[in-house]
A and B are shown apart, each in its own frame.
Chain A
Amino acid sequence: MVREGTVCDQAFLPLRIKSQLIDAVITTTKRLCVFTRALLLTSFCLLAMASVVPAYALTPLNDGEMSSINGRGLALAFDNFSMRMAPTSYVELIGTAPTAQAAAKGWKRGDLRYYGLSMTGGSTSGKDWYGNGCTSQDGLGCPLGHDSTNTANPYGALAFASPYNPYILRVWKYPGYDYAGNWMDKNAAPTIWEFQGPTRSSKWRWAFWGELEVNHTGANQGVGACNTSNSACVSDGANFLQSQTLIYGKNITKGFQWDPSSDTYSVMPASNNSPSGGPQPAILRMMVTDADAPGPETLALTYQSALSGDFRFSVNQTANSPDQLFTVPDFSNEGGMYFKNVDAYLPLGQLHYQMITFSGVSKYDAAANEVAPEQNGNFTLDLTQIPDQAAVYNNFYCGSTNGSACATDARGMIKNPNPDSHGYVRWGNWFNPTAPATVIDPATAALGNGAYQLPAAHSTANGIYFVDPTKTGSAAITNIGVSRIEGMLIQHLSITSLGAGT
């Protein structure tokens, strides 16, 4: 039992610690707050322990020992976990007044605030930002998950990352082609550092409410300023839009790949980006750029985004909501745009020939005209271009590991696309996971209200739909169907800031 003392003369606090380096027991006494001169010596003890401890000699590792990578790492498990920022606490991206060129095109200063960033549990019951209960809407009515039967932490996601399937932090060697088209097996490949998300977890909620303010010019646009979009706001108003965003799912895909020839789905095979096969986790990797790639050796990243679940974006507020700047709104529980059964995978970078790099070189001037590369204060985020090497691009398209060209089907589409490099977004279920080879045919499928059916006009079980909070029942629902993008390959992506601010 740990008891906290608040003043020097509080109760005795027995504390016994075994130090691995010094076999001793330190017994503290009541007079913890009295520090004698002898204690000054202790400040050097820690340094002494690190430098000279005769019983434990430090021996250097040789290069052979240091170079052997065996996959050991750290596991980070989050049990019954929740993180909640206060509804009035925010992260703000602060804008500036636009440059003359930008202002001439109509640009104005923009400030963006994200309030109440939260990760909470996946129960269908929950609470809103005011702490009130909210109608479920299949869990999407409530930004904060709250299950009163979970007495240890009602807001918690039980297996956010179970010890059975934790986040892992490790170094690893993945086989693959380098920039010059040479194949490297897992012993010859460079070492990369990676942070992998879990491949199985409970459903949980990621939520925040946002405030976008345009043309902030003065102190009048402070706490409690009215919204100029309201006709009653005639002075000291601010131009802003408040919204609520909720993701109800997990940072793991459902784990199915698409076959373009047959338009069927099957379980994802094991690969660099799906190490266990099946559901793909989110992975962040850091490494040094390949020695054959253009430019100096520098920091490089690859990142794959993995997400499945439901999404809701809403702006509608109740009649009692204040609708004031810097003031927590009371959003209605029902209104908004809903995306059900989303499954999204977006890989940015491929080992070892495509990576994300950063530089302060821009190909655009202040007026957004394309110019020769120059250093003018803007930065570029570059997902590097795929090299014109047959071995590399064949691997990029179809996962070829021997340099052979990719096989195509009768229509000329690539058979067996590389699942690591092909991103996808599926808004709605296109198949039942128990029978992935049977896919919805939009031309012939019967409409229905089931989770795996082509959605009917008022379905809330699948697809994309809007809810009108002024109506009730099925009349409030407008479902526009399911959608998908398959086989997104990013050959090159470059994002450059244009310094629109002064």
Chain B
Amino acid sequence: MRLLSSRGPQTLLTSRRYWPKFCLSGLVSLCRSRSGLVALMLGLFALLTTTNAFAMKKLSDAQLGQIEGQQGVLISFDYYYNSQYTGKQIVDNSASGGSANFNINGRPLSGFCGNFGTIDSSTNCRLTWQLNGHDGGSGDFGGMTNAKGEWLVFKNGYLSMSVNRISLDGAFLGGAASTGSSYESFFDPLRFQNGSGGCLLPDGARGKACTTANIKLMPALRTSYPKNGDTKYASAPTGKATSGSYNSATNISSDFTDVRFGLGISGMAVEYGPNGYKATSITTPAAHGSFVALKMADVNANQAGINFGGSFYMYGF
């Protein structure tokens, strides 16, 4: 598969409009600061690498053995692709049929990409896919001989994502609520076996055995959104344990902030030929318009709000 993205004169994912923003627990002051971008990136690496600015001491094996893995990391992360960070700026769009309390954060870069909904005024802000074997060189597919290369073109698109205070932690699977005794009947050892029936779970305290007891002892990467009432994180933010509510008097949802996600694709089409990905109505051959457009947003914002509960564990076998 080939992937091309255009924002301005550059291709691929390099553009002056690309402002990833990182914020780590303890480095919040550098969040959302364009000038601090480089420092933020370096701050992330600083936690993982050596640096002259920090004292580094070797831990002895005995000291390393005392690490219990109870301290995790809280991460917040903002990503804007062909879209703009404006903070919590609210505007009144009611005169044009929109909401009176509209949060414009994550709005598309209309001056650069063209107004959302237009697909032809510019080839900026396109993403295209080409599947292997559909590059025109092979010639015959879909019942057609000498077929031209095909591009699935996402025209005039934008995306923004904000992840707020997700916890990354190491944990033992035995701490999961669904490893209690009432769920032991769910265990399916065949899922963890190789083609010869051998168990692929790593050796545990009880040996290399596909058993529920061994699974409980296995470590895993755990992610979750700590909320008030989650006893693992004593200083979780105040707020409802089941945050997120809707006010029917104002038609406004509040506190759906674990992830804010905005997406817009003004049009999609299949275009042909070696330069199909930049076809417009005035190129030769001309573009084919669009068969669908897509949007993910909120009635009162450019970004949808999503809340997560519980934990996600990832482990290998």
A94 near B178: Cβ-Cβ < 8 Å? no
Cβ distance A6 to chain B, nearest Cβ, rounded Å: 5
Residue among A155, A201, A322 facing the most chain B CB atoms (10 A cut-off): A155
- Which residues of B does A touch, CB under 8 Å? 1, 25-30, 38-39, 41-43, 45-59, 64, 67, 70-74, 94, 96-99, 117, 131-134, 138, 140-144, 147-148, 150, 152, 165, 167, 173, 176-179, 183-188, 190-195, 200, 212, 215, 218, 220, 229-230, 233-235, 241-242, 244-246, 248, 251-253, 256, 269-272, 288-300, 304-317
**Complex interface: chain A residues within 8 A of B297 (CB):** 89-90, 92
**Complex interface: chain B residues within 8 A of A105 (CB):** none
A interface bracket (residues with beta carbon within 8 Å of B): 35 or more
Given known pairs A81-B311, A165-B188, A373-B143, the reply for A39 and B53 (CB within 8 Å) is yes
A18 near B67: Cβ-Cβ < 8 Å? yes
**Complex interface: chain B residues within 8 A of A76 (CB):** 312-314
B141 near A155: Cβ-Cβ < 8 Å? no
A45 near B45: Cβ-Cβ < 8 Å? yes
B25 near A4: Cβ-Cβ < 8 Å? yes
**Complex interface: chain B residues within 8 A of A43 (CB):** 38, 41-42, 45
Q: Does A40 contact B (CB under 8 A)?
A: yes
- Apart from A2-B73, A80-B309, A298-B131: 12 A-B pairs, beta carbons within 8 A: A2-B233, A25-B57, A26-B46, A38-B52, A46-B49, A76-B312, A83-B306, A154-B242, A200-B186, A221-B97, A298-B132, A379-B270
Given known pairs A42-B45, A375-B144, the reply for A25 and B59 (CB within 8 Å) is yes
Q: Does A328 contact B (CB under 8 A)?
A: yes
B25 near A70: Cβ-Cβ < 8 Å? no
**Complex interface: chain A residues within 8 A of B229 (CB):** 151-152
Chain A 264-287: CB-based contact to B (< 8 A → 1; otherwise 0): 000000000001100000000000
B39 near A39: Cβ-Cβ < 8 Å? yes
B contacts with A: majority SS = mixed
A129 near B29: Cβ-Cβ < 8 Å? no
Query: Interface segment, A135-143, A333-341, A353-361, A473-481?
Result: A353-361
Query: Interface segment, A27-35, A435-443, A463-471?
Result: A27-35
Residue ID in chain B nearest A296 by CB atoms: B133
Given known pairs A222-B97, A375-B148, the reply for A163 and B188 (CB within 8 Å) is no
Sample of 29 A–B contacts (CB below 8 Å): A2-B74, A13-B26, A18-B67, A26-B46, A35-B42, A35-B43, A39-B46, A45-B51, A46-B45, A71-B195, A72-B194, A72-B200, A75-B191, A78-B310, A79-B177, A82-B309, A83-B309, A84-B309, A94-B292, A95-B292, A129-B246, A159-B186, A163-B173, A163-B179, A198-B188, A295-B138, A298-B131, A322-B251, A359-B150
Given known pairs A173-B195, A296-B134, A359-B134, the reply for A163 and B313 (CB within 8 Å) is yes
Cβ distance B30 to chain A, nearest Cβ, rounded Å: 7
Q: Does A369 contact B (CB under 8 A)?
A: no
**Complex interface: chain B residues within 8 A of A501 (CB):** 289-292
Q: A3 CA to B24 CA in the complex, in Å?
A: 11
B235 near A2: Cβ-Cβ < 8 Å? yes
Q: Does A401 contact B (CB under 8 A)?
A: no
Q: Does A24 contact B (CB under 8 A)?
A: yes
Given known pairs A8-B29, A163-B173, the reply for A42 and B299 (CB within 8 Å) is no
Cβ distance A488 to chain B, nearest Cβ, rounded Å: 25
Q: A107 CA to B153 CA in the complex, in Å?
A: 25
B141 near A296: Cβ-Cβ < 8 Å? yes
Given known pairs A24-B58, A89-B306, the reply for A70 and B28 (CB within 8 Å) is no
B296 near A90: Cβ-Cβ < 8 Å? yes
B48 near A46: Cβ-Cβ < 8 Å? yes
Of all A-B residue pairs in the complex, the 5 with the closest CB atoms, nearest first, are A222-B97, A377-B288, A361-B142, A296-B133, A360-B270
Q: Does A363 contact B (CB under 8 A)?
A: yes
**Complex interface: chain A residues within 8 A of B131 (CB):** 298-299, 358
Cβ distance B171 to chain A, nearest Cβ, rounded Å: 10
B45 near A200: Cβ-Cβ < 8 Å? no
User: B294 touches which one: A40, A77, A92, A196 (CB < 8 A)?
Assistant: A92
Residue ID in chain A nearest B263 by CB atoms: A91
Cβ distance A303 to chain B, nearest Cβ, rounded Å: 17
Cβ distance A150 to chain B, nearest Cβ, rounded Å: 9
Which A128-158 residues have C-beta < 8 A from chain B?
A: 129-131, 146, 151-158
B25 near A5: Cβ-Cβ < 8 Å? yes
User: A88 touches which one: B72, B74, B167, B299 (CB < 8 A)?
Assistant: B299
User: B244 touches which one: A32, A75, A86 (CB < 8 A)?
Assistant: A86
Residue ID in chain A nearest B190 by CB atoms: A276
A223 near B299: Cβ-Cβ < 8 Å? yes
B270 near A200: Cβ-Cβ < 8 Å? no
User: B311 touches which one: A39, A72, A80, A328 (CB < 8 A)?
Assistant: A80
Chain A 338-370: CB-based contact to B (< 8 A → 1; otherwise 0): 000000000000000000001111010000000
Q: A6 CA to B74 CA in the complex, in Å?
A: 13
User: B74 touches which one: A4, A82, A89, A153 (CB < 8 A)?
Assistant: A4
Q: Does A450 contact B (CB under 8 A)?
A: no
Q: A79 CA to B224 CA in the complex, in Å?
A: 10
A4 near B270: Cβ-Cβ < 8 Å? no
**Complex interface: chain A residues within 8 A of B177 (CB):** 79-80, 152, 158
A4 near B235: Cβ-Cβ < 8 Å? yes
